[in-house]
Amino acid sequence: VAKDAGRNRVSHFTPELQQAAVTRSRLAKDLRAALAEGQLHLAYQPIVALGSGAVHKAEALLRWRHPVRGPVPPGDFIPIAESTGLIVDIGDWVFREAVRQVQAWRARLCPDFQLSVNKSPVQFVNGGGRHDWIALLRQAGLPGQCVVLEITESLLLDAASGVSEQLLALRDAGIGVSLDDFGTGYSSMAYLQHYDIDHLKIDQRFVRHLGPGSKELALCKAIIVMAHELGMTVIAEGVETAAQRDLLAAAGCDYGQGYLFARPMAPADFEAWLAARPPA
Ligand code: C2E
Ligand code: MG
Ligand code: MG
Ligand code: MG
């Protein structure tokens, strides 16, 4: 049996798989250099209040411009950053960059502007990264309310030791917590009893197939009612059409994010986009 399994494994190690493994290890090596050499930057996607159209929030999304390959999608390099542990240093950089940007936009655009930053479960291991994010905000003279951390259900389900303490400390400092990609994990929902979550982001796979009378609309409505009952606000991800926006607004969804409003943009483009909008 062992021999069979061994032969099986060898026969499944196709040239394609080998090529993918080589690409992965090259990307891991290049990613190490990317941070030091300034190849990473953040793009900002507006989060729009569906009732008023106001924009006081955005999500910071990491971008990597590889010197040879050009832009590498986060879906390709975030998993590598996580498996190598590089996400800890990269995540610290993302946070500092987002704090610098939110400080500038609070001064220039709107005094209560808020940025969301994604934080993967790996970044909670061993008490978090090298830098104390709460202290960083304090040093910048900023209130916790200027950032929201987007976490995923898997973090709460695994419930590694120290996670709930870290989440409590963040919330004590006024930092918001958002549950990203809601509805795609193994949502037992029992964790909603134990953690205080401020915002819930409905995953784009529910939004994509929204239509009158659809199962997706029923699910969105149920999620929105549940979230509101639990004191959370709701953000729909991946809003691409006016029809989706209207169905979500009618269902009581608080915020929308998606290509209908804008793609993730460089800071200057974000400011120009905002300036071109009719006042809310
Ligand atoms: P996410 O946090 O769920 O981010 C939303 C993703 O949906 C982004 O993909 C965004 O560009 C995309 N998106 C926004 N509107 C639409 C739309 O209308 N239609 C479609 N089809 N897509 C839309 P992106 O930027 O490729 O990021 C992918 C994922 O990578 C993120 O998913 C997040 O999990 C992760 N990620 C990105 N930046 C960071 C970071 O700084 N740290 C960590 N740990 N993860 C990050
Ligand atoms: Mg997110
Ligand atoms: Mg998401
Ligand atoms: Mg995601």
Ligand 1 atom at minimal distance to the Cα of residue 240 = 18
* 16 CA to centre of own chain: 30
Answer whether 167's CB lies under 8 Å from 134's CB. Answer: no
Ligand 3 centroid – CA 276 distance (Å) = 26
pLDDT value for 3: 44
The strand pairing partners of 148, in sequence order, are 116, 176
Confidence of residue 137 (pLDDT cuts 50, 70, 90): very high
Question: Rounded to an integer, what distance in angstroms lies between the CA atom of residue 235 and that of residue 197?
Answer: 13
Confidence of residue 12 (pLDDT cuts 50, 70, 90): low
The reply to whether ligand 1 has any atom less than 6 angstroms from the CB of 61 is yes
Kindly report, residue by residue over 35-48, the tens digit of the pLDDT. 999 999 999 999 99
Question: Tokens for 183?
Answer: 């509805």
Answer whether residue 7 shows pLDDT above 60: no
| Cα separation values, 137 from 96, 103, 140, 174, Å | 9, 10, 5, 11
Ligand 1 centroid – CA 44 distance (Å) = 10
Residues 6+ apart with CB under 8 A from 237: 181, 201, 202, 203, 204, 207, 257, 258
Question: Rounded to an integer, what distance in angstroms lies between the CA atom of residue 169 and that of residue 17?
Answer: 43
Kindly report, residue by residue over 44-85, the tens digit of the pLDDT. 999 999 999 999 999 999 999 999 999 999 999 999 999 999
Instruction: Give the residue, by CA position, lying nearest to ligand 1 atom 26.
Output: 74
pLDDT value for 16: 84
48: left (phi over 0), alpha (psi -120 to 50) or beta: beta
Task: Say yes or no: ipTM exceeds 0.95.
Answer: yes
For 59-73, 134-148, 166-180, 185-199, which range has the lowest pLDDT when averaged over its residues? 185-199
Q: Is 63 helix (H, G, I), strand (E, B) or coil?
A: strand
Answer whether 234's CB lies under 8 Å from 224's CB. Answer: yes
The reply to whether ligand 1 has any atom less than 6 angstroms from the CB of 203 is no
Q: Which ligand is nearest to the CA of 178?
A: 2
The reply to whether ligand 1 has any atom less than 6 angstroms from the CB of 78 is yes
